[in-house]
Amino acid sequence: MSVPMVEATEVHKSFGRVEVLRGIDFVVQPGEVACIIGPSGSGKSTFLRCINHLERIDAGQMRVNGELIGYREAGGRLYELRESEVARQRRDIGMVFQRFNLFPHMTAAENVMEAPRTVRREQRQSARKRAVQLLERVGLAEKCDSYPGQLSGGQQQRVAIARALAMEPRLMLFDEPTSALDPELVGEVLDVMRGLARDGMTMVVVTHEMGFAREVGDSLVFMDEGRVVEAGNPREVLTDPKHERTRSFLSKVL
């Protein structure tokens, strides 16, 4: 079997005295779409942020594509990675945030071009050309030169997806990508994500969209109080949850 794209083993994380993650085991194979659901405060967003080392884990292991994240192992000891090495690891991991976090002083195309230009030192013209292609792919060809402030929430989130794709990541992380959107705008973002999944992108999606999880997800994880309560096939977990906690959560959101 191939190396898992994401392999978390016994991941622990505390903020001060609050233990947010209490031993998470989690595996995503290449090409899979894994959805994480759970009540707020369950640690699902924190866990997602541990995958690209936006949060540093306290115990356990996080591997992406077989490579240890945030640390280097040598002679049975762990060495913290330098900032530049962490940055290199992050290039292969795209991330989409709940609140978009587009750069407001740059147009849509400039947002998408930024990382290829500064990180990969790409030429302006070729970066611009690819940015336009990516914006076309998320259905925003005509918005290249608009500033984020001139776009709707759904459009902004699609630009954010294009921006993450510009670094040609092997893995995409989505942190509640539709939670800050008006209901009528959720569909357009989910459509783009569906397209990505169809093209074989490996994705980890923290979401409240049960329909999306059921339809697109290859696996589903239900988290509560920093633990994985239940994991499995999305259709099975959603229709026939094994745990009482999962049942009561689903009865509230479905």
Partner 1 sequence: MAAEPLPLEKERPKPIEAVPVRHPGRWLAVAVLAVLAAMFVNTVITNDNFRWPIVAQYLFSPPILNGLQNTLILTVLSMLIGIVGGVALAVMRLSPNPVLSGVSAVYIWLFRGTPLIAQLLFWNFLAALYPRLSLGIPFGPEFVSFDTNQLINQFAACLLGLGLNEAAYMAEIVRGGLQSVDQGQSEAAGALGMSRAQTLRRIVLPQAMRVIIPPTGNETISMLKTTSLVVVIGYFELLTSAQRIYSVNFQTIPLLIVVAIWYLALTSLLSVGQYYVERYYGRGTNRGQTGARLFPRRDQQQAAGAHG
Of the candidate residues 19, 25, 58, 114, the single one contacting partner 1 (CB under 8 A): 114
For 49, 84, 171, the CA distances from 52, given in Å and listed in that order, are: 6, 13, 10
The 10 Å CB-count burial string (b at 16+, else e) for 93-107 is bbbbbbebebeeeeb
Q: Which H or E run includes 12? A: strand 6-15
Q: Contact between 115 and partner 1 (CB under 8 A)?
A: yes
Q: Contact between 128 and partner 1 (CB under 8 A)?
A: no
Q: Contact between 94 and partner 1 (CB under 8 A)?
A: yes
Give me the least distance between CB of 101 and partner 1, in Å please.
Answer: 4
| Selection from 100, 93, 95, 245 nearest residue 179 by Cα | 100
Q: Give the binding range for partner 1 (CB under 8 A) out of 85-93, 125-133, 216-224, 242-250.
A: 85-93
Of the candidate residues 118, 233, 239, 248, the single one contacting partner 1 (CB under 8 A): 118
In whole angstroms, give the CA distance from residue 46 to residue 57: 10
User: Which letter does DSSP use for residue 92 in this model?
Assistant: T
Could you give the dihedral angle defined by the CA atoms of residues 237, 190, 178 and 173, in that order, rounded to the nearest 10 degrees?
Answer: 70
Of the candidate residues 16, 75, 149, 183, the single one contacting partner 1 (CB under 8 A): 149
- In this complex, which beta carbon is closest to partner 1, that of residue 129 or of residue 147? 147
Note the residues at the interface with partner 1 (CB under 8 A): 52, 54, 83-84, 87-88, 90-91, 93-95, 97, 99, 101-107, 114-115, 118-119, 147-149, 160, 163-164, 167
